[in-house]
A and B are shown apart, each in its own frame.
Chain A
Amino acid sequence: MPDMENTPKRVVAPKQPAYPIEHFVADAEDTPVVATDSATTDDAPRSQWSEAWRNLRRQPLFILSGILILAVIFVALFPGIFTNEPPNENCLLANSGGGPAPGHPLGFTQQGCDVLSRVVYGTQSSLMVGMFSTLGVLLIGGAIGAIAGFYGGWIDAILARLGDIFFALPLILGAIVVVQLPFFRENRSVWTLVVILVTFGWPQIARITRASVISVRNADFVTAARSLGVSRFSALLKHVIPNALAPVIVITTISLGTFIVAESTLSFLGIGLPPDVMSWGNDIFSAEPTVRTNPMPLFWPALALSLTVLSFIMLGDALRDALDPKARKR
């Protein structure tokens, strides 16, 4: 088995900037020694997270993207507040492709349905795919990356090869191959799509977690915790992971946008969410044939999609700036 540590150029993904993370002693209650009693938490330097939060609050980019994301989540949770029109019931073919009318500010789709209402009700599934896929890759990729980075040796070698194998299939390509299988074609839903996206999306998070955990695992505070009798596993959970989290959170935020795009791309190709599920991707797909004559039913869901993705990317950027002191100084 090749020695992983001596082959630094195994990572083929775009090189992530290194995050020099400020290390602080874990909170007093996390350290099972009475000796830390004298170190009151009040005198301790601010933690990385409260430091980051102070920085974030001053960033217009963060405030803007935060407001946008909260608004999108609110729309997804309570679509009824934003439109009186039910999305699918009052569709009259007489209205097919019609422009804005009283009560229908964004006009009508080819099927004569209200565009605004469809955009509003489509928020939920698009966001759900993004959120649950991100949660899935964070849990699976994060766990695999953390274990590979922390334990090293043959565990790392095997997990890294496994990641390489999945990495050789780009997300969209892998998803397209799997989505068309009879097994998935017959059970198309938000959940099967999430499973597929997680299956092909986890290696990226795993790589970043692994690199971040490796940069932390030999830090003095981990050695200190181990020498105080903390087991390897709980040192990983309580000391290594919290300090290795920053770059992972940044990439996770950005990948939430990526998954929303992936869902809409697959739906756009007609193989994503089933046609009876309202989503921005499905609406763009059904507006596509008439885009030359009536571009508006395509424009509005595309705008909603782009704004949502943009806010997650901006949030990721803002988090990166706040969590990376090196970037701040520049």
Chain B
Amino acid sequence: MSWYIIRRVLQLIPVFIGATLLVYFLVFSLPGDPTAAICGERGCTPAVEAALREQYNLDQPFWVQYFLFIKGVLTFDLGVNFAGREIATIIAEVFPTTARLAIMALVFEAVFGILFGLIAGLRKGKIFDSTILVVSLVVIAVPIFVLGFLMQFIVGVKLGWASPTVSGAAPFNELILPAVVLGLVSFAYVLRLTRTSIIENVNADYVRTATAKGLSRRRVVTVHILRNSMIPVITFLGADLGALMGGAIVTEGIFNVNGVGNTLYRAVLNGEAPVVVAIVTVLILIFCIANLVVDLLYAWLDPRIRYA
């Protein structure tokens, strides 16, 4: 197992370097000045431009630039944004909100997706199964921003059950509605994945054995069927954490959550390339780590993988 962990961690490094290199290359090497937005329409004077190029290392060769950038990432020194604030400080400010939002969404989609998927899978072809399948199709098809507006309008404005926008501190109860919206599409995927997986396992030999040796239905379902059906679902949930962080851009915009997504979006609109690259790097890192955790969980659940 420890060899497996070491191997997975080592495989992570080239992916992280490659992905950050890709982003860095796209942002800083394509034609166009990434710092031009700082001076607006009139453009910078040559002196200011030279100073900016020096500040963001743009006067260096590309590989030196990238090396300095990675060095900064490893020492938590991400440079400053166009207004002169430390980017690391900005991320540290908004990150907890988005982390809370994404984890709440993940918990929502995992709990309800697995529960509904389990019930639907065990009662395949019954009315609950067919209804939930249609509902999940609709949820997947309707874009998240339409769902967001709809929920905000109905639950937040008309019914008044939840606050339609989130205040600066982003307390737990105000985040429930955005988290549900954020997790809704993945909820439908988790549900369908669990259902398919349950249906595949419910007629397996070991399930019949478990029933035959007199285990209660509850124990057969929870320990034998459900645990064995969780492998594809857990893979999906892990990979989804990154997608949730990306999807948070839309959800945070709709509900006015002061999180990473909103910060990234503002940086995109203002053309603040250094901020964009820094935030995306953090997101890539989270995505890679989430995948690593999933891999390890996966190996723990399925011994065939760790001994392969």
- Residues of A at under 8 Å CB distance from B? 2, 6-9, 12-15, 17, 161-162, 164-166, 168-174, 176-186, 257, 261, 264-265, 268-271, 284, 288, 291-292, 295, 298, 302, 305-307, 309-310, 313-314, 317, 330
Contact = CB atoms under 8 A, between A and B. Distances in A.
21 contacts: A2-B7, A6-B308, A9-B295, A12-B295, A15-B232, A164-B18, A166-B22, A169-B284, A181-B27, A181-B30, A183-B32, A257-B141, A261-B143, A264-B143, A265-B143, A269-B253, A292-B153, A309-B140, A310-B137, A310-B142, A317-B137
Interface string B39-64: 00000000000000000000000000
A177 B23 contact: yes
Interface stretch (B84-92, B100-108, B206-214, B243-251): B243-251
Given A302-B142, A313-B137, A169 B153 contact: no
A121 to B, nearest CB: 20
Interface stretch (B73-81, B110-118, B168-176, B268-276): B268-276
A180 B23 contact: no
A9 B298 CA distance: 8
Nearest to B26: A178
A133 to B, nearest CB: 16
A240 B249 CA distance: 41
Interface of B: 7, 11, 14-16, 18-19, 22-23, 26-27, 30-34, 36, 124, 137-138, 140-146, 149, 153, 157, 189, 193, 196, 199, 231-232, 235-236, 238-239, 242-243, 245-247, 249-250, 253, 264-265, 268-269, 271, 273, 276-277, 280, 283-284, 287-288, 291, 294-295, 298-299, 305, 308
A313 B139 CA distance: 11
A314 B19 CA distance: 33
Nearest to B22: A165
A179 B26 CA distance: 10
Contacts of A288: 149
B85 to A, nearest CB: 20
A284 B145 contact: yes
B141 A313 contact: yes
Given A15-B231, A182-B36, A330-B199, A169 B22 contact: yes
> Majority SS of interface residues in chain A?
helix
Contact of A170 (B11, B142, B232, B246): B246
Given A6-B308, A9-B295, A269-B253, A172 B246 contact: yes
Most B CB within 10 A of own CB, among A13, A171, A264, A306: A306
Given A182-B31, A265-B145, A305-B143, A161 B15 contact: yes
Ordered nearest first, which 6 A-B pairs have the shortest CB separation?
A182-B32, A165-B18, A310-B141, A173-B246, A168-B19, A170-B246
Nearest to B270: A180
A50 B305 CA distance: 38
A12 B30 contact: no
B70 to A, nearest CB: 15
Most A CB within 10 A of own CB, among B15, B199, B247: B15
Contacts of B22: 165-166, 169
Nearest to B125: A330
A270 B145 CA distance: 13
Given A15-B235, A161-B14, A161-B15, A172 B249 contact: yes
Contacts of A166: 19, 22
Contacts of A162: 18
B31 A302 contact: no
